[in-house]
């Protein structure tokens, strides 16, 4: 992903784009029902805080702050705003842990599945013994919405191993060390945790407790995650993710609840289906939480939006462009199908 985004940045810069980092947008400027630009926060690293758009404004930020903070109630219908407030963040909040070790991790004998020696240490999913354990985890995280109280032997998680990556893409750049992770575990969404948003993050004692919990659950599968081998644990709770990356509301990998009513072709509200903001001209959405299809389909949201920008005469792509086979042109607009013109 990291390499992929470098490639995209280089491509956009080569094509004349300007990227301003550390320039949070505080407000989307709207005049007479049209988005005309953005105002940056006072501490943005760019002197001039107001930037006018000569074509359009695209919000690639999470749907909730986009509507609740950057646009605000003065430009929106109260009923529509309520539906944005009602979108649920429940589920999908991940506690991430990385383990820096001296030796490569080794499976306990019962988890080996080949006769190869040394046995590869691959992506791991645990624990899949029975449905009772699954329901126990679910009842706690999604039902009661409380910190995990299942024993580490019954906690459910996945782990990306160091050996997943090609030797040319080492995850650890310190010679002689290995980094395995993330070990990702679904935990309650901090905003809904009944013991408060800081229920997993109230201080160093908490951090130590969860580090140890993650190590214990990993040691159910791995035989050498002991003090001699382990150098450091790096943790990242959902609440920390919210602060590190303002896009990650709820510390959730897909931004909003992953249920039929907020997911895929329902995502997240029908009136936003074509990425335009109702009643505000020149304002488009491009965040995984605001548009079909959503989380993990990383380029799809941008690609779909491109069709709409073409329809509205904002983008005029070159020969490289081709439309999606599922694209249905909108009557009265410029078709995104090359050569078709206005339909």
Ligand X SMILES: Cc1cc2nc3c(=O)[nH]c(=O)nc-3n(C[C@H](O)[C@H](O)[C@H](O)COP(=O)(O)OP(=O)(O)OC[C@H]3O[C@@H](n4cnc5c(N)ncnc54)[C@H](O)[C@@H]3O)c2cc1C
Residue 142 Cβ, how far from ligand X at the closest point, in Å?
A: 17
Handedness of CA 45, 50, 55, 56 (dihedral sign): positive
- For ligand X, the closer of residues 283 and 335 by Cβ is 283
Dist. CA 149–CA 322, nearest whole Å: 51
Q: Write down the number of H helices and E strands in the chain.
A: 7, 10
- For ligand X, the closer of residues 135 and 243 by Cβ is 243
- For ligand X, the closer of residues 34 and 39 by Cβ is 39
Dist. CA 225–CA 40, nearest whole Å: 46
- For ligand X, the closer of residues 231 and 298 by Cβ is 298
Place of tokens 């800081």: 198
Residue 282 Cβ, how far from ligand X at the closest point, in Å?
A: 18
Is there a contact between 200 and 210 (Cβ–Cβ < 8 Å)?
A: yes
Cβ neighbours for 332, distance < 8 A, ≥ 6 positions apart? 342, 343
Dist. CA 206–CA 201, nearest whole Å: 6
Single out the residue of 256, 138, 123, 242 nearest to residue 187, CA to CA.
138
Query: Site residues (CB under 6 A) for ligand X?
Result: 24-25, 60-61, 65, 94, 96, 241, 245-248, 253, 287-288, 295-296, 298, 301
- For ligand X, the closer of residues 5 and 135 by Cβ is 5
Q: Which residue is closest to ligand X by CB?
A: 247
Residue 279 Cβ, how far from ligand X at the closest point, in Å?
A: 21
Residue 16 Cβ, how far from ligand X at the closest point, in Å?
A: 20
Residue 284: cis peptide before it, omega within 30 degrees of 0: no
Residue 182 Cβ, how far from ligand X at the closest point, in Å?
A: 7
Residue 150 Cβ, how far from ligand X at the closest point, in Å?
A: 20
Helix (H, G, I), strand (E, B) or coil at 58: strand
- For ligand X, the closer of residues 24 and 329 by Cβ is 24
């Amino acid at each position: 992903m990291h390499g992929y985004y470098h490639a995209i940045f280089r491509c956009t810069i080569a094509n004349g784009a300007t990227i301003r980092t550390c320039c949070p947008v505080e407000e989307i400027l709207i005049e007479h029902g049209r988005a005309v630009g953005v105002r940056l926060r006072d501490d943005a690293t760019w002197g001039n805080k107001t930037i006018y758009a000569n074509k359009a404004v695209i919000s690639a930020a999470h749907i909730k702050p986009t509507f609740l903070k950057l646009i605000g109630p003065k430009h929106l219908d109260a009923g529509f705003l309520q539906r944005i407030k009602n979108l649920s963040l429940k589920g999908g909040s991940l506690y991430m842990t990385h383990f820096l070790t001296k030796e490569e991790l080794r499976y306990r004998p019962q988890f080996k599945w080949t006769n190869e020696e040394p046995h590869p240490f691959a992506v791991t999913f645990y624990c899949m013994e029975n449905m009772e354990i699954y329901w126990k985890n679910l009842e706690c995280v999604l039902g009661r919405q409380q910190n995990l109280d299942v024993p580490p032997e019954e906690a459910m998680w996945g782990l990306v191993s160091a050996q997943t990556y090609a030797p040319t893409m080492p995850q650890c750049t310190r010679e002689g060390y290995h980094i395995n992770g993330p070990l990702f575990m679904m935990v309650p969404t901090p905003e809904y945790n009944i013991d408060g948003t800081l229920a997993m993050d109230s201080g160093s004692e908490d951090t130590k407790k969860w580090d140890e919990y993650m190590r214990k659950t990993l040691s159910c599968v791995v035989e050498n995650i002991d003090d001699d081998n382990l150098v450091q644990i790096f943790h990242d709770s959902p609440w920390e993710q919210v602060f590190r990356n303002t896009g990650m509301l709820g510390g959730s990998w897909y931004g909003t609840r992953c249920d039929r009513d907020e997911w895929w072709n329902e995502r997240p509200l029908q009136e936003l289906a074509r990425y335009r903001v109702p009643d505000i001209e020149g304002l488009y959405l491009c965040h995984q939480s605001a548009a079909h299809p959503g989380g993990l389909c990383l380029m799809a949201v941008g690609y779909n939006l491109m069709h709409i920008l073409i329809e509205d005469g904002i983008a005029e792509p070159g020969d490289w462009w081709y439309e999606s086979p599922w694209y249905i042109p909108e009557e009265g607009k410029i078709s995104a199908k090359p050569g078709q013109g206005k339909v």
